[in-house]
Amino acid sequence: MPTTEFDMRAAGTWADERQTVTETICGFCGVGCALELHVQDDTIVKVTSPPDNPITHGNLCVKGRFGFQHVQNRPDPDAPAHRR
């Protein structure tokens, strides 16, 4: 389970009913796995792959499943104020 889902469920902020799912293709490598981006409040909170996909069968490598935190344009809370 992604830490985002674990943390949000623990905090009571995980809301399936407010999430949308956008299908796309992972561009990290040439395999091109099918991705489902689960978005809540304009933030990707989980990435899955369709279980009925004939190539991935719902599986993804660690980059495809957990690399989504690197594509979010979020301010770095540790950066100096002028760089946020």
Per CB under 6 A, residues contacting ligand SF4 are: 26, 28-29, 31-33, 60-61, 63-64
Instruction: Name the one residue in this structure whose structure tokens are 């409040």.
Output: 41
Q: Which residues contact 35 (CB under 8 A, 6 or more apart)?
A: 23, 24, 25, 26, 47, 48, 49, 60, 64
The CB-of-73 to ligand SF4 minimum distance in angstroms stands at 20
Closer by beta carbon to ligand SF4, 13 or else 23: 23
List, in sequence order, every residue forming a beta bridge with 37; answer none if it has no partner: 22, 47
The CB-of-16 to ligand SF4 minimum distance in angstroms stands at 23
Contact between 51 and 58 under an 8 Å Cβ cutoff? The reply is yes
Q: Which residue is nearest to ligand SF4 (CB)?
A: 64
Closer by beta carbon to ligand SF4, 21 or else 31: 31
The CB-of-30 to ligand SF4 minimum distance in angstroms stands at 7
